[in-house]
């Protein structure tokens, strides 16, 4: 249990708390809204809950600097007044904080069009364990070449420094949204259709697969006329793959994506994130189907169909989860990909089992960790290099 809890309002407060903790050799857990990871047991907790001071929005340049403790929904509500937004849609994004989204490099269906946080971030402010505050990047899309501190923090799980604010490039809000829903017979056809759509002369914001049932959701967020023209192309392509097709818009569109977003994280179980080449996704999903059928357990699948990024929730007998996760990881790694355990029920939850082997990258990761946090006081146990 933490002996000290800090709720600073700015970067200076974070830096002071870190310097005090480091001076007393105390471990530190950094907490945002708690939507991503459970902070490890520590001597000190630094909460970003009060780091929500005003957003610096430069609408003419399509950029904004936002505090780490602000929720994504609060940020986009303010940006929306100028018909702009930060195009990120991670799970539980209505609560997720900017700092947490950066720390986990989290993203959602719209990653297909807009990328992940590391693709949108152009500047950052961080507090270091020695009490200093560092800044990198700025409010322009192109900056001086060199070490990209902003991108380094994305996916670092708060183990290198504490993000206090960040600057992102924004996008205009689309006036219309509609989605093609294509239902097919099996997972290999589903993956093949996703790849076919990605090669078609269309520009969707999301190409999402889900199972069961085996469905592809292709979303267009643009003008109504442009969406209609692109929808017609995807409908024809889907029918050629033997799919049953419907097109939704308005409230039905909103409801369908809300249900999709909660598909994996709304129930208990072991949740894994698999990344492979898009061309390998179909074979890997077929292997998953065989493994879960053999163990007589249920699973839910959702993911970026054209990017090879798939989320899987295993339900049923938790005793079978570790074996399935192990088989899936071997399959993914054998294809040059990876598997990360996001939450465990029955499967091992220690760091090594959660992430797996780092391969040739491990020495570099450990060297970076030693440079930023030589005494390993930040978020111990959350990253492979701890």
Mean pLDDT of the chain: 91
Nearest to 274 by CA among 323, 316, 329, 321: 329
Dihedral angle of Cα 216, 222, 223, 225, to the nearest 10 degrees = -40
| β-bridge pairing 162-169 and 121-127 | antiparallel
Please tell me the predicted confidence (pLDDT) of residue 32: 87
348 band by pLDDT with thresholds 50, 70 and 90: very low
Q: Do domains 176-261 and 270-360 have the same CATH topology?
A: yes
Residue 236 reports pLDDT greater than 80: yes
Residue 1 reports pLDDT greater than 90: no
As separate numbers, helices (DSSP H) first and strands (DSSP E) second, the chain gives: 13, 18
Q: What is the DSSP string of 16-66?
A: HHHHHHHHTT--EEEESSSSS-PPPP-SEEEE-TT--PPPEEEGGGTEEEE
Is 176-261 a CATH 3.40.120.10 domain? no
CA distance 292 to 310: 16
Residue 347 reports pLDDT greater than 70: no
**Residue 385: which residues within 8 A CB-CB, separation 6 or more?**
159, 358, 362, 365, 366, 368, 369
Please tell me the predicted confidence (pLDDT) of residue 192: 95
Please tell me the predicted confidence (pLDDT) of residue 91: 87
- Tokens in use for 328? 């899936």
Mean pLDDT of 325-354: 80
Alpha carbons within 13 A on the beta-carbon side of 322? 7
Residue 190 reports pLDDT greater than 80: yes
CA distance 163 to 154: 10
Q: What angle do CA 186, 195, 323 make, to 5 degrees?
A: 55
Residue 289 reports pLDDT greater than 70: yes
Nearest to 352 by CA among 374, 373, 325, 376: 325
- Tokens in use for 368? 């970076």
| β-bridge pairing 44-47 and 28-31 | parallel
Residue 384 reports pLDDT greater than 80: no
| β-bridge pairing 133-137 and 162-169 | unpaired
Q: What are phi and psi of 46, to 5 degrees?
A: -110, 115
Q: What angle do CA 140, 173, 216 make, to 5 degrees?
A: 110
Between 57-61, 140-144, 253-257, 301-305, the lowest mean confidence (pLDDT) is in: 140-144
Mean pLDDT of 326-346: 88
Residue boundaries of the structural domains of the chain: 1-172, 176-261, 270-360
Superfamily, domain 270-360: Ribosomal protein S10 (3.30.70.600)
Report the CATH fold assignment for 1-172.
Answer: 3.30.465
Please tell me the predicted confidence (pLDDT) of residue 116: 96
CA distance 226 to 367: 49
Q: Is 144 helix (H, G, I), strand (E, B) or coil?
A: coil
Percent residues over pLDDT 90 in the chain = 78
Q: What angle do CA 7, 12, 17 make, to 5 degrees?
A: 50
- Tokens in use for 344? 């465990």
351 band by pLDDT with thresholds 50, 70 and 90: low
Dihedral angle of Cα 196, 202, 206, 209, to the nearest 10 degrees = -20
Q: Which helix (H) or strand (E) holds 117?
A: helix 117-120
Residue 350 reports pLDDT greater than 60: no
Nearest to 156 by CA among 107, 117, 119, 105: 105
CA distance 214 to 270: 21
Q: What angle do CA 240, 241, 242 make, to 5 degrees?
A: 90
Per-residue pLDDT reduced to its tens digit, 254-274: 999 999 999 998 888 899 999
Residue 143 reports pLDDT greater than 70: no
Q: Name the more confident of 35 and 84.
A: 84
Nearest to 101 by CA among 29, 174, 28, 48: 48
Q: Can you give the pTM of this predicted structure?
A: 0.90
Per-residue pLDDT reduced to its tens digit, 87-140: 999 988 888 999 999 999 999 999 999 999 999 999 999 999 999 999 998 765
Nearest to 328 by CA among 316, 317, 314: 314
CA distance 22 to 377: 7
Per-residue pLDDT reduced to its tens digit, 25-76: 999 999 987 777 666 788 999 999 999 988 999 999 999 999 999 999 999 9
Q: What are phi and psi of 233, to 5 degrees?
A: -65, -45
Please tell me the predicted confidence (pLDDT) of residue 144: 47
Strand partners, 169: 63
358 band by pLDDT with thresholds 50, 70 and 90: confident
């Amino acid at each position: 249990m933490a002996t000290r809890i800090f709720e600073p309002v700015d970067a200076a407060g974070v830096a002071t708390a870190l310097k005090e903790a480091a001076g007393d050799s105390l471990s530190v857990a950094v907490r945002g809204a708690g939507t991503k990871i459970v902070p490890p047991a520590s001597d000190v907790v630094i909460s970003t809950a009060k780091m929500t001071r005003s957003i610096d929005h430069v609408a003419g340049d399509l950029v904004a600097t936002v505090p780490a403790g602000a929720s994504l929904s609060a940020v986009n509500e303010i940006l929306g007044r100028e018909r702009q937004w930060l195009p990120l849609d991670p799970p539980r994004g209505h609560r997720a904080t900017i700092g947490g989204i950066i720390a986990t490099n989290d993203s959602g269906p719209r990653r297909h069009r807009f990328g992940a946080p590391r693709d949108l971030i152009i500047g950052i402010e961080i507090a270091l364990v020695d009490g200093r505050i560092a800044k990198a990047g700025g409010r322009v899309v192109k900056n001086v070449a060199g070490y990209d501190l902003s991108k380094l923090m994305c996916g670092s799980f708060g183990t290198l420094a504490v993000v206090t604010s960040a600057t992102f490039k924004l996008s205009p809000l689309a006036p219309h949204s509609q989605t093609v829903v294509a239902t097919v017979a099996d997972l290999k056809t589903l993956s093949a259709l996703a790849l076919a759509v990605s090669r078609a002369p269309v520009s969707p914001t999301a190409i999402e697969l889900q199972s069961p049932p085996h469905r592809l959701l292709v979303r267009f967020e643009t003008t109504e006329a442009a969406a209609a023209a692109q929808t017609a192309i995807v409908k024809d392509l889907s029918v050629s793959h033997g799919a049953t097709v419907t097109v939704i818009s308005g409230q039905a569109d909103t409801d369908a994506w809300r249900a999709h977003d909660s598909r994996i994280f709304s129930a208990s179980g072991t949740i894994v994130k698999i990344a492979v080449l898009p061309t390998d996704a179909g074979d890997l999903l077929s292997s998953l189907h065989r493994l879960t059928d053999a163990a007589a357990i249920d699973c839910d699948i959702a993911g970026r169909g054209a990017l090879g990024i798939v989320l899987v929730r295993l339900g049923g007998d938790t005793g079978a989860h570790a074996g399935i996760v192990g088989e899936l990881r071997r399959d993914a790694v054998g294809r040059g990909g990876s598997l990360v355990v996001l939450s465990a029920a029955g499967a091992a939850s220690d760091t090594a089992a959660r992430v797996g082997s780092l391969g040739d990258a491990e020495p570099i990761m450990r060297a970076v960790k030693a440079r930023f946090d030589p005494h390993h006081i930040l978020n111990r146990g959350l990253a492979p290099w701890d």
